């Protein structure tokens, strides 16, 4: 079992959990009117906009969990070329791109870029060993 890819999977899963929980507590709890899906956008956003923002907020968590599951599965495969290395490289590259985007967009004030960068580095290390 590749320990680096296992750690990358665990970190990707954790980043998703933290993202959804903090989003619910810090953002969507104020927009919720006793329902699961928030609907109160005040004077700025219509209900349909709040609904899609909420759904879109949770998509990175779902995608992160899917990538974590893929990394966990890939952790049991030998490295050294082929499809496995290509998939790990793609996942790591995507996480690196996401890290750069979040870091740049928030002027490094949002800690999510650190978690995404961590997954990318662990993917890279996983290919080496």
For range 108-121, the mean pLDDT:
97
Q: Cα torsion for 116, 21, 69, 11, to the nearest 10°?
A: 40
The b-or-e profile of 97-114 (16+ CB within 10 A means b, else e) is: ebbeebbeeeeeeeebbe
Residues whose CB is less than 8 angstroms from the CB of residue 127 and which lie 6 or more positions away in sequence, other chains included: 79, 85, 88, 89, 92
10 has pLDDT over 90:
yes
Instruction: Please give the residue range of the domain that contains residue 53.
Output: 3-128
Residues whose CB is less than 8 angstroms from the CB of residue 84 and which lie 6 or more positions away in sequence, other chains included: 74, 77, 78
Number of domains observed in the structure of the chain: 1
**pTM of whole model > 0.95?**
no
Task: Give pLDDT, residue 33.
Answer: 76
Task: Give pLDDT, residue 77.
Answer: 87
């Amino acid at each position: 079992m590749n320990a680096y890819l296992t750690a990358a999977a665990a970190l990707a899963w954790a980043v998703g959990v933290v993202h959804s929980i903090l989003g619910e507590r810090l953002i969507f709890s104020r927009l919720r009117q006793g329902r699961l899906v928030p609907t109160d956008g005040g004077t700025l956003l219509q209900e349909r906009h709040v609904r899609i923002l909420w759904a879109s907020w949770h998509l990175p968590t779902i995608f992160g969990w899917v990538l974590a599951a893929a990394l966990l599965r890939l952790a049991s495969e030998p490295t050294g070329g082929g499809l496995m290395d290509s998939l790990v490289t793609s996942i790591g590259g995507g996480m690196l791109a996401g890290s750069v985007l979040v870091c740049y967009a928030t002027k490094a004030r949002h800690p999510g870029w650190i978690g995404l960068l961590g997954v990318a580095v662990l993917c890279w290390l996983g290919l080496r060993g």
